[in-house]
């Protein structure tokens, strides 16, 4: 089912906490780079935008092995800003709704499909898995009511979908942009954020389980 929304993958960061000396889009998970797994999720998305920065040439070359109709957006100041800037840059001139997807995220393919097919605005979250998580607090209906660095009901992994006109410039993270609009509908997904080497090992186990490898 083709998506009616633009999808923005933020791949500009250095990934220094992971310690593999390469941007996380290019780390190898079960035989192929992370970005390749993500491109499979979004193969039917017409307007796919990938924000690049660190090792941009290598990321672009890798993406072009899989599809040629991607819009690349450069975040040249990736050392001075975070994912909020990349999301803002990718969202310019996009569709009415923009779905943000962090370049360090592995998601169950059925849940990636759910995110694409869900209409309107939402914030996705998962069970707590990561070593250095940002948490979300939810109400009984499952809506996201707050973000926290200390505690919460679930882990904020993204993705999130929001009207393009609401995306404001921020040098901080995507969740800092979303905070203004809380509470927002929540979607519970199966996902693994990759920030540390332990997260990386955990993601490989999820991939094996989800894809029957």
pLDDT tens, N- to C-terminus, the chain (213 residues): 444 689 999 999 886 666 566 888 999 998 999 999 999 999 999 999 999 999 999 999 999 999 999 999 999 998 889 999 999 999 999 999 999 999 999 999 999 999 999 999 999 999 988 877 899 999 999 999 999 999 999 999 889 999 999 999 999 999 999 999 999 999 999 999 888 888 888 888 988 888 776
Structure-token pair, residue 27:
């780390």
Number of structural domains in the chain: 1
Residue 38 covered by a domain: yes
CATH number at residue 41: 3.90.550.10
Residue 1 covered by a domain: no
* Strand-strand pairing, 186-188 and 191-193: unpaired
Please provide residue 142's backbone torsions phi and psi, each rounded to the nearest 5 degrees: 90, 5
Residue 86's pLDDT is 96
Domain containing residue 179: 6-211
Sign of the Cα pseudo-torsion (74, 92, 101, 37, in order): negative
Residue 139 covered by a domain: yes
* Contacts for 194 with CB less than 8 Å, ≥ 6 apart: 18, 24, 27, 34, 104, 105, 106, 130, 200, 203
Distance of CA 94 to the CA centre of its chain: 17
Confidence (pTM): 0.92
- Residue identified by tokens 């993204």 is 158
Residue 106 covered by a domain: yes
């Amino acid at each position: 089912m083709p998506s009616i929304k633009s999808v923005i993958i933020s791949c500009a960061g250095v990934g220094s906490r992971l310690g593999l000396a390469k941007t996380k889009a290019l780390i190898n998970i079960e035989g192929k780079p992370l970005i390749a797994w993500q491109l499979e999720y979004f193969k039917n998305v017409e307007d796919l935008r990938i924000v690049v920065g660190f090792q941009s040439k290598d990321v672009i070359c890798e993406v072009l092995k899989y599809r040629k109709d991607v819009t690349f957006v450069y975040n040249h100041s990736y050392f001075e800003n975070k994912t909020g800037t990349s999301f803002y840059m990718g969202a310019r001139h996009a569709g009415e709704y923009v779905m943000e997807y962090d370049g360090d995220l592995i998601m169950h393919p059925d849940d990636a499909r759910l995110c694409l097919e869900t209409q309107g605005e939402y914030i996705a979250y998962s069970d707590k898995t990561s070593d250095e998580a940002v948490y979300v607090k939810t109400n009984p209906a499952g809506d996201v009511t707050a973000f926290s660095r200390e505690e919460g009901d679930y882990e904020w992994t993204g993705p999130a979908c929001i009207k393009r006109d609401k995306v404001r410039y921020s040098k901080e993270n995507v969740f800092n942009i979303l905070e203004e609009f809380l509470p927002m509908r929540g979607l519970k997904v199966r996902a693994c954020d990759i920030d540390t080497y332990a997260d990386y090992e955990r993601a490989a186990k999820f991939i094996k389980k989800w894809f029957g490898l």
